[in-house]
Structure 1
Amino acid sequence: MEAVEATPEMSALFGELVLDVEIRAPAGKFHHMLAGRPHHMSKATPNNIQRCDLHEGEWGKVGTIVTWNYVLDGQPKIAKDRIEAVEPEKNSITFSVIEGDLMNEFKSFVLKIQVTPKQGGPGSVVNWHGKYEKIDENVAHPENMLPFFKSMSKEIDEHLLSEV
């Protein structure tokens, strides 16, 4: 059950991205990669993430600032994010972009990733939920991020399943 949804709402300046990706790894393991060891993501998904550096704070803690070097549509990009919320019991983490390439087109960009165990079977569903405000009406809806999130999820899943 994979759903992809991109829904601009409220006005031409505000929008959301929603993507569910089925994975085989346990929800807690996937969440721990995002919250507790995102600096390992360049090994797990090298086509998407080149590096993740701790700028300020502690991995997985609210208020921590992390810098990401990533590739979107074949172009190298940088994002500096603040961790806004971490809910281990819900396998959820929320990042707010505070600097970087996205801020050239968006006044705000918040991304919540929640991983839920599948009902009645092994595996999990990774829900990517982004909310943003564009700097003006000429900025395109960032649908190009959906394949990026899907690819990242699948590569991280494969990596987690191969870990001993």
Structure 2
Amino acid sequence: MALVGKLETEVEINTPADKFYKIFASQIMHLLPNVSSDKIQGVELHEGDWETAGSVKHWDYTLDRSSLSLKETVEAIDEENKTVTFQRFGWRNIEALQELQETEKTNGGSLGKWILDYEEVKDEIPAPQSYQDFAVNITEDLDAHLVNA
């Protein structure tokens, strides 16, 4: 039987919540391979458009020194709560739903929260912490880029 789990990670960033959220909710996402080229080699639109739930994107990326790819369906975009939910297909031995929630901080900047709900396809696979770490690393790379832009 496959293990079902949930990982949550918060990342403090200097970029305002609205600006950061819009990267993941719009076509500006194509910026990510330029910002994190050591982690993301490409993001292409596969079906739909860049800004609508139901759209499908194809990612080429590097994780744990392995070149990988996946398809992502945008499940939901919530402008009011600055939340984007993605269904990920093709991750190593897991099925996952990943969500980014952005919250404005009162003293400037914002707090990004990555939530990963997953089901392991094989029982012997450890919890997918490397995917959470990957999301945090991209968040930090993008924040540094936006602050210096």
- State TM-score, norm by structure 2: 0.93
Equivalent residue runs for 1:147-162 within 5 Å: 147-162=133-148
Does residue 91 (structure 1) correspond to residue 74 (structure 2)? The answer is no
Q: Is the 8 A contact 2:4 2:118 kept in 1?
A: yes
Residue type of the alignment partner of 2:101: Q
Q: 1:28 aligns with which of 9, 12, 18?
A: 18
Q: Deviations over 1:51-96 (max 9, x none)?
A: 1000010112110000111111121111101000001111110100
Shift of 1:12: 6.0
Deviation at 1:141, TM superposition (A): 0.7
| 2:128 match | 142
The question of whether the paired residues in 1 share the 8 Å contact of 2:116 and 2:132 is answered with no
Match of 1:105 among 88, 93, 97: 93
**What is the aligned length?**
148
What is the identity, as a one-letter code, of the residue corresponding to 1:146? Q
**Unaligned regions of 5+ residues in structure 1, if any?**
1-10
Give the aligned partner of residue 8 of structure 1. none
Letter in 2 for 1:49: I
**SS across alignment from 1:155:** helix
Specify the code of the residue in structure 2 equivalent to 1:109: A
Correspondence for 2:104 among 85, 96, 117: 117
Contact preservation (8 Å) 2:9, 2:114: yes
Query: Could you say what secondary structure the match of 1:137 adopts?
Result: coil
Percent of aligned pairs with the same amino acid: 30
- Are 2:64 and 1:68 equivalent residues in the alignment? no
User: Structure 2 unaligned runs (5+)?
Assistant: none
For residue 17 of structure 1, give the secondary structure of its aligned residue in structure 2: strand
CA positional deviation for 1:35: 1.4
